[in-house]
Amino acid sequence: MIVLNDVRKSFGDLEVLKGISITIQDHQIYGIIGQSGAGKSTLLRCINGLEDFQSGLITVDDEPVRIEDQKKLHLLQKKMGMIFQNFNLLNRLDVYDNVALPMKFWGIKTKTPEAKEKIKGLLKLVGLEDKIHARPSELSGGQKQRVAIARALVLDPQILLCDEATSALDPGITREILALLQQINREMGITIIVVTHQMEVVKQICERVAFIKDGTVIAEGKPEELFVKPKKEVKAFLQEESGHLPEDGINIQLFFTDESSDEPVITMMARDLGIDFSICWGKLEDFRSSVYGSLVININEKDKEEVLAYLDGKQVLWEVL
C-alpha cells in the first residue's frame, strides 16, 4: 500500500529524515515509534503530502506523492484520513457537523438522507450515536477522539494516519481507542499507520513497527521480536536493563516467543537435568493478546553446555550475558 524509498527531508541545514526506507502492506496496522524530535510526525506529513521532501520516493497505492501535482495529490489525500493528538474539532460546530467537515471540503452535501445515514452509522461505530448534537466542550477527551476518528472515516479512506492519537488520553481510554482502531482495521480493511512514542500502543495493535532515531530507522520488524530480544540500539531506546546480575556463575537470558512461550521450560529443565539455578530478572509483555517475554537465570559454570543444549532442544532463544 505504501512504499518509502530513501526519503530525505531537511529544514534549512537541519536534516530531519536521513534516508528512510520502509514498506507498509495493505490492511496492515503499522507503527512508527521514536522519542520527540526523531522525525516521526514529519515522516507522516510527507506520506500524506502536507510536507515536501528533498529526495527519495513515496508511493501510495502505486501513485507517487508529489506536491507539485496538486490535482493528483488531492485525490491521494482523499484516500487518507488523519487523526491528531489534539483532536482538531471546531467548538462552534456540533458532533454531526464536525464529522461532516471533510464532505463539505469536497463539495458533498451533508444534509441529504444518504449523508445523514452515513454519519449516523459512523457515530454508531465509534459509540457516540447519542452525542450527535453535542458540542466538543461537552465531550471527554476519549469522546473527542472518537469524533475525530469518525470524521477521518467519512470519505471512505483506504488509509488512516494517526499522529500521537492517544498521547493526551489516560491509559484506560487509550486501550479503548486502540481497540476501536483494531475493529476498524478488521471490519473495514483500512490500512492504519500509528505514530507514537508510547511502547504500549505498538505492543497492543501493531503488526510491524519501525524504530526511528535521529531521522533514521534503527530497527524494523514484528514488535514482539524487537521488544522481547532487542538489538543494542533498541535496548538503549527502551532504556531497558536486566537489573543487577550475579557476578558468579553464568547469566543466561532466555527469550520466549511463538515456539516456546506456552511450554513450562524452566520447571521442565530443573526436573529433567536435576540442576539448581537462580532466576535473576524477568518480564512478560502482552502483544495483541499473546504473551511473550524474557528471563535471566544464573547457573553454575559446570552446567553451561548441558543447559544450552537443553534450551536449543526446546527451541528457546538464549544469550549468555
Q: Each residue of 101-110: pLDDT tens digit?
A: 999 999 999 9
- 285, 291 in Cβ contact below 8 A? yes
Q: How many CB atoms lie within 10 A of CB 103?
A: 19
DSSP 168-200: TS-HHHHHHHHHHHHHHHHHH--EEEEEES-HH
Q: Which three cell numbers stand for residue 27?
A: 490492511
**Residue 135 DSSP SS3:** coil
pLDDT, tens digit, for every residue of 84-96? 888 889 999 999 9
Which has the higher per-residue pLDDT, 15 or 168?
15
Please report, rounded to a whole number, the percentage of residues in the chain having pLDDT higher than 90.
46
DSSP E strand boundaries for 229-307: 250-256, 278-287, 290-299
pLDDT range class, residue 242, cuts 50, 70, 90: low
Q: What is the CA radius of gyration of the chain?
A: 24
Q: Give the three cell numbers for residue 50.
A: 502536507
pLDDT digits (tens, 9 = 90+) for 31-75: 999 887 888 889 999 999 888 999 999 999 888 888 888 888 888
**What value does the mean pLDDT take over residues 181-185?**
93
Q: With b meaning 16 or more CB within 10 Å and e meaning fewer, what string describes 279-313?
A: ebbbeebebeeeebbbbbbbbeeebeeebbebbee
Cβ atoms 177, 146 nearer than 8 A: yes
Determine the average pLDDT of the residues in 184-191: 93
User: Cell 441529504 appears where?
Assistant: 112
Strands 191-196 and 29-33: parallel
The secondary structure element, H or E, covering residue 64 is: strand 63-64
Sign of the CA dihedral running 172, 158, 64, 57: positive
Per-residue model confidence as pLDDT tens digits over 145-171: 999 999 999 999 999 999 988 887 888
Rounded CA-CA distance 255/285 in Å is 12
Judged against a pLDDT cut of 60, whether residue 259 lies above it is answered with no
pTM: 0.82
In this structure, how many other beta carbons lie within 10 angstroms of the beta carbon of residue 187? 9
What single DSSP character describes residue 2?
Answer: E
